[in-house]
Amino acid sequence: MAPLPKHAFDIIIQLSLIEGENVKKVFVFDLDSTLAELGKPIPRHVVSGLRKIEEAGHIVAVCSGKPTYYLCGMLRQVGLNFHVLIGENGAALQFGVDLPPEKCYRAHYDPNADRILRELRDIIQREADFQVWFQPNEVCLTPFYHTPREEAALEAIFAKYHDLIEAHLDCFKHCDSFDLTPKGVNKASGLIRLSELLSIPSDRFVAIGDGKNDYPMFRFAGASVGINVADEDAVDINFSSISQAMVYISTKML
């Protein structure tokens, strides 16, 4: 299959309707601790692997807890022809790395969640005994911590307001932050939206990730590849590094 041309959204829609063995795959990568270490660039050999996937006629997507505009800055350096970015754990989806994007979409969810997220942000700012930095999201709430004491302080707040959070939000814990999303918004919901937009079924999706917020997309995708995933039963195959995973993908899945 020929590599995808630039600005290929309309062409992708047409090609995705082709049935049979020519239906392309969608390889969906998490960013942090998968494509790259926290705060680090994507390694060159991984960039080469992503380009190889696209050159084989498949689609490369990135699905992260980071906002889409952050992903724009990362992915514009990779040199792909067609970009699919899913940010904030499925809350935001866009095609292309330009701002404003070629096409962009937001998740559907209970509008009460917006109010709850605003209230929770105010609560954290008022009750936390340290200055909390919040990731500048469009939808979700992501407070960061730097020490075990700060981590415990945030967890104490979440425990205090457990009923409010449980009723309206989902929470994903990371090594440096918490992602609070509207109930039902997760990486799987983002991939479901992408699947609908491209008319490509879930069994043609391959999900690659490392953390608990990746588990929903592991369950959605037809195949899953883990990078040091703690629960090995959550993925079809688990590797200790992205390098090993990229070798497997390039030799076994293209």
Domain ranges of the chain: 9-107+185-253, 112-182
CATH node for 9-107+185-253: 3.40.50.1000
CA distance 168 to 162: 10
Residues above pLDDT 90, as percent of the chain? 89
CA distance 77 to 200: 27
Mean pLDDT of 212-230: 97
The amino acid that residue 7 corresponds to is: H
List, for residues 36-81, the tens digit of each pLDDT value. 999 999 999 999 999 999 999 999 999 999 999 999 999 999 999 9
Question: Sorting pLDDT into bands at 50, 70 and 90, what band is 102?
Answer: confident
Mean pLDDT of 101-117: 93
- The beta strand positions in 52-176, using DSSP E, are 59-63, 84-87, 92-95, 103-106, 169-173
> Residue 18: its pLDDT value, please?
41
Residues above pLDDT 70, as percent of the chain? 91
> Residue 20: its pLDDT value, please?
39
The amino acid that residue 23 corresponds to is: V
pLDDT tops 90 at residue 3: no
CA distance 225 to 205: 11
> Residue 243: its pLDDT value, please?
97
> Residue 9: its pLDDT value, please?
52
Lowest-confidence region among 44-48, 74-78, 89-93, 141-145 = 74-78
pLDDT tops 60 at residue 17: no
The fold of the 112-182 domain, in CATH, is: Alpha-Beta Plaits (3.30.70)
Burial of 174 (0-12, 13-18, 19+ CB in 10 A): middle
CA distance 190 to 94: 10
> Residue 140: its pLDDT value, please?
98
pLDDT tops 90 at residue 11: no
Question: Sorting pLDDT into bands at 50, 70 and 90, what band is 12?
Answer: low
Cα atoms in the 13 Å half-sphere on the side-chain side of 39 = 2
**Per-chain mean pLDDT for the chain:** 92
CA distance 226 to 233: 10
List, for residues 162-184, the tens digit of each pLDDT value. 999 999 999 999 999 999 999 99
> Residue 15: its pLDDT value, please?
47
